[in-house]
Structure 1
């Protein structure tokens, strides 16, 4: 089994896959500061002994159970609430997050006990460590650890932790701290659920700034569970009377007008993964790809 340092377990982010290790220094930040965040991501089908670093081997069973609990229990309840709030059938959103299993009927109170195999969804669990920057980089970063952005996909679960830093944009240029509540989960909406609801549900821009002075020297551990739609889900407003009545804004309208083909959740994930940390491309003639870049930077103004 190889260690993380040799690159064999590094995530292929440029291909749209976060599975594996993302080391510090991966991103070239616009402010010239070093990227001090490292994380390890696991998908349902990569939580395997052959894909785990040595330090994680004894915890493999716990990791798999944690992924399954997030998906089959927490996610399904959240999606049921959102579906009903949108005037949809209770399992409408679940059906575009998970395809086919014995649990499609009845009430879920626990995850499967037999570690159900499911490979069609790109849910993934992330353990992230935010390391304190040097004083020089702290000044370059203007005390900003992770710039403002929205998450990819549908929803994200952020497990609340005690080191301050997470802020959410509540109004233009108005950032507010998210208070820590022990044993709580922060539910964040991603950009794709805004696309599918025609703007009824809004993606939430958030960022991480440096902690208060008494916590500034500490490493900050983040535990996240990212949930996208099924890969073949077309990113356009759901065709339902309640959605058409409340909101039908399609952010890809100009993209389609320029000849762009219908874009799936998987394709959008790959496109946005390629654009993270990049600068805008300037072309003489507007092309469908230009619209995708504009949408990315609209939801990630600090990229």
Structure 2
């Protein structure tokens, strides 16, 4: 009989919530526990549809993990950055530019935040594929792999799949339409990612205008297809942020202003990504978002983040769901001819290998820089 005793883990004590008077985005809160019944899904999908169409972001509560389970995951998330020695970090460093995925460590000063002023990021991260045994892990993290595996499965089956069913219903498609593109045992790079945002020097903050990760959008172009707008911030279909108290996440609201995302204890912050834009024929456009310096009363704290990034199976082609009556009513925005639509694997590789690494050029718009990735002009908002 397996032991019910969890391995010891150092406690991560979260900083206090900010008291500053900030302009927060008015995001909808979805009770995801209602998604377990047909009646609940019928109630939820219009709410989710309107939230994602307005902001591209939504809160989810009652997702199945209690506060103690959530706190335990943050304890584990801090292990790669507080316990693993630097030499072992190097051993398990992800070869991002070569292989096109984030599994393993990404050290600080890897991404270019401000090319002109030579400011690099101060973010460490550790990525773990949905198959936690697929790649080896540092010694200090191995005792927690059963818990991480359970956490991965919880995100995949109890968060992502219910949201995908609601999105399918909102498009008047069979409930399993999008779920079938996200198989747990399929080949793909859905992953848990632990991220530690470290405090920066005043000089770095001044040079980069307090931006830690830029907001961005892009334009796909194909020589036989007209220019089509594509807003994206995450390359997959859905991203899940487990809410934590240190502020910094901002989204670009419909009125064009940057607004803060408020912390709600044990809530999830869910947003759509590039691939959902493809599947929905532009009906669900990802919202531009960025990370900036925390509010003044939190600037003495580092920011620990726990994420789950959902990516469809590698062999899924990024085609709009043309059978949707909703898309036919609103109009389908194709990013390229159907015969040229990329596979998920190709899109992921193209977005991952060059993100934050290529030199940016000034764009035509004010405070916008551009780079070309796999035939896509990507705009970064300062």
TM-score, with length taken from structure 2: 0.65
- Tell me if structure 2 keeps the 8 A contact 1:42–1:125: yes
Local SS of the residue matching 1:171? coil
Query: Structure 1 residue 39: deviation in Å?
Result: 0.3
Could you tell me how far apart the structure 1 residues matched to 2:95 and 2:336 are? Answer: 27
Q: What CA RMSD, in Å, does the superposition of the two structures yield over aligned residues?
A: 2.4
Local SS of the residue matching 2:101? coil
Match among 36, 41, 44 for residue 130 of structure 2: 44
Could you tell me how far apart the structure 1 residues matched to 2:274 and 2:324 are? Answer: 22
Could you tell me how far apart the structure 2 residues matched to 1:262 and 1:206 are? Answer: 26
Pairing 1:146-157 to 2, within 5 Å after superposition: 146-149=213-216, 150-157=233-240
Could you tell me how far apart the structure 2 residues matched to 1:210 and 1:233 are? Answer: 37
Q: Counterpart in 1 of 2:154?
A: 69
Matched, 1:210 2:293: yes
Matched, 1:279 2:359: yes
Could you tell me how far apart the structure 2 residues matched to 1:87 and 1:272 are? Answer: 30
Question: Relative CO higher for 1 or 2, CA cutoff 8 Å, sep ≥ 6?
Answer: 2
Local SS of the residue matching 1:239? coil
Could you tell me how far apart the structure 1 residues matched to 2:309 and 2:291 are? Answer: 17
Match among 158, 162, 167 for residue 241 of structure 2: 158
- Tell me if structure 2 keeps the 8 A contact 1:83–1:91: yes
Q: Counterpart in 1 of 2:54?
A: none
Query: Structure 1 residue 177: deviation in Å?
Result: 0.7
Gap regions ≥5 residues in structure 1: 100-117, 282-289
TM-score, with length taken from structure 1: 0.82
Q: Counterpart in 2 of 1:287?
A: none
Query: Structure 1 residue 147: deviation in Å?
Result: 0.8
Pairing 1:178-217 to 2, within 5 Å after superposition: 178-217=261-300
Gap regions ≥5 residues in structure 2: 1-83, 217-232, 362-371
Q: Quick check: which one's strand share is greater?
A: 2
Match among 209, 215, 223 for residue 142 of structure 1: 209
Aligned length: 268
Q: Counterpart in 2 of 1:239?
A: 322
Query: Structure 1 residue 272: deviation in Å?
Result: 0.9
Match among 221, 226, 229 for residue 309 of structure 2: 226
